[in-house]
Chain A
Amino acid sequence: MKRRRKLGRGVAIVGAGMSKFGMFKEKDSKDLFAEAFCEMRSSVERGLDPREIDALYLGNFSNDFFTHQAHWASIIADLTGLVPKPATRTEGVCASSALAFREGVIAIASGLYDMVLVGGLEEMSKRSSEEVTEGLAMANTPYAGRVGFTLPGVFGAMATAYFARHGANREHLMNVTIKSHNNASLNPKAQLTLTIRDMMSAKSESMKKEGFTAPDWVTEKDFLRDLTVNPIVAWPMHLFDCCPISDGASAMLLVAEEMAGEFTDDPIYVAGIGQGSGRSFHRSRDLTSFEATMHAAKEAYSMSGLAPEDVQFCEVHDCFSIAEIVHVEDLGFFKPGEGYKAIADGATRLDGPKPVNTSGGLKCKGHPVGATGVSQLYEVWTQLRGKAGERQIPEGDLRVGGAHNLGAAGGTSTFIILERR
C-alpha cells in the first residue's frame, strides 16, 4: 500500500504579504487583511489583476467567538473583489491558514485552478485575556477541557514530562525566549520588538525614576527568573514563555509553476507539503513529541525528496517556549532529547547553522492564530528571496526553508518545504 505522493503539477508562490501583527483597537479583520492583500499585490513584480484569481482559501480559527462574526471566507472574497469566485474557510485552530495554503496547492496541482489566493486572519485583542484563554481552550480535547487544562497548561505539562525524561530545566526554555526577542527586534512586522536587554534597561530606568532601587539583574536570565516581571501562567510556562494575544492577517498568491514567469523573475516553489493529525494529549504515544508533526514531516520530506539536514532554516510553531524544543526534534533537525542542548549551543540563532524562527516566531512576531501559518511561509519566502533586511540569514546561498504550523495541542500539524531553484 506504499504510494509515493507527488503534486500533479508544480506550484509557485509569486507574491506574499502580511499585516503588522499586534493589538489594534482601531483596526478590524477586514482592515488587517486589506493590509496583507495590498502588500501581496505590490510584491508581484510584473503586476497582478486580482480579477484573474480563481479561488480563495482562508484560514480562520474562531473569529466567530472572538468577534461574534462568522463566514469570513465570503467576507474576504467581497473585500478583495473576488466575488463570485469560490471562497472556502479552513479551520485547524492555530494551523488554520497552513491548511488554507495546502488546499490552495492541492487545487492548483489537481488542475482545477491556475491562480489561487490563500491567507488567514484572526482578531483576538478586543476580548479580555480570560476570554481569549477560554476561546483557545475550546480547541482542547473534551477530557482535557473538562478538568481545567488550558492550552498553556497542556504545554506546561509537556514541559514537565520533557524535563523529567531529558534532564532539561527552565533555564533551557529561556534560551528560546531570548533568541525570539532578539530576532523580532529586527522584524518591523513583529508585535514585540524589544530585546530582553532593552526591557531590562527600560524597567531599571523607570524604577530609578520612581525612586526605587534598581533591580540587580545582570544577565537576561536574571530578568527572566524574577517572578515580579515574569510571573507563572501555567507551570513551568511563565509570561515570557507564552506568545501574546494578537490581531493580524496574511496573504499569498499561488500559481501553476509554468505560469510563474508571467508574475516574477524570482518565484519560490512548493517542494513538499505534509499534514498530520494527533490524539488527545493523554493518549499521545509519547508525552514529549507530537505524532501529527512526525507524520506531516514524513509526508513533506518524502514528497520533496529532501532530508532534515537539507532544510537550511525553519519557522516552527513556538506558541510556548517548550514547543520550539519539541518541534525541532520532531522535524528531525535534532535527535529526541538533544533539541534543548543544540538551542543552548546557539545552533538555532540567526547566525547559527540551523536558524529557527528568524521572524521572532509566534512568541514575539505575534500569533493571530488563523493568520500564523501563511505568515510563517511569508517569512520563509522573504528569506529565500534575500529580502529580510536586518534579519536576513547571513548564510549566502539559501535554497530550502521550512514552515511548521501546529493546531492547539497537536490535533493538527503541517510541515511545508519551500525552495528557490
Chain B
Amino acid sequence: MEGTPISDIFYNRFMTEEILTGARCRNCGARWVPPRPVCIACYSSNLEWIEVNGRGRLAAFTCIFIPPPSMAAQGYDRENPYCVGIVELDDGGRVDARIEGVDATNPESIKIGMPMKVKFLHRTVDEKVESYLAFEPA
C-alpha cells in the first residue's frame, strides 16, 4: 500500500485483492472510509492507507426491482432483484455496498441492525477484473 496514491481508483483496486481500505491522516490522525486524498479535518494531504475491519451492521437498504441497464445486463430484473445498502462499520464510518446472502425478493425479511461481514464481488469486464464491495450477514 505504501507509495500507492490515495484515490478511488486504488480503493477499488485493493478490493480485487479483497482488502477493504481507508485512509488515516498522518498529521491529525483522522480516519476516512472510503479514503480521501485530502484530510478535511486538518487539510493535510499527508495520508496513509489503512486496512479496515470489515465488520458492521446494516444501517439502511433497498431491494431494486427496476435496475439500471448496467445491472440488467447482469441478469437482474423484476423477478430477480438485488439488494444494496449502507453498512455502519464497527470501527466507524459507513460504506455503500451490495448486500448478499439475503432474500431480495422478500425485503421484509431483511432487518436494519443485522450484523454484517465484508465480502467482495469480482467480475471480468473487457478482460479486466472489476471488484465491488459487498457485505453479507455475519
Contact = CB atoms under 8 A, between A and B. Distances in A.
A147 B132 contact: yes
Contact of A148 (B59, B84, B94, B112): B84
B72 A130 contact: yes
Interface string A208-245: 00000000000000000000000111111100000000
Per DSSP, chain A at the interface is helix
B113 interface: yes
Given A161-B60, A283-B94, A143 B34 contact: yes
Interface residues of A, number: 37
Contacts of B78: 231
Interface string A148-164: 11101110111011011
B60 A147 contact: no
Given A161-B112, A164-B112, A235-B107, A133 B68 contact: yes
Interface in B86-134: 86, 94-98, 107, 112-113, 132-134
B65 A231 contact: yes
A129 B78 CA distance: 14
A156 B107 CA distance: 11
A333 B132 CA distance: 40
A282 B65 contact: no
Interface of B: 8, 12, 34, 59-72, 76, 78, 81-82, 84-86, 94-98, 107, 112-113, 132-134
20 contacts: A130-B72, A131-B69, A143-B95, A146-B133, A147-B84, A148-B68, A148-B82, A149-B64, A150-B68, A153-B62, A153-B64, A156-B62, A157-B60, A160-B60, A161-B112, A232-B107, A235-B107, A237-B62, A282-B86, A282-B96
Given A146-B132, A148-B70, A237-B62, 13 more contacts: A133-B66, A133-B68, A137-B68, A141-B96, A147-B96, A147-B97, A148-B71, A149-B84, A157-B60, A164-B113, A235-B64, A236-B107, A280-B96
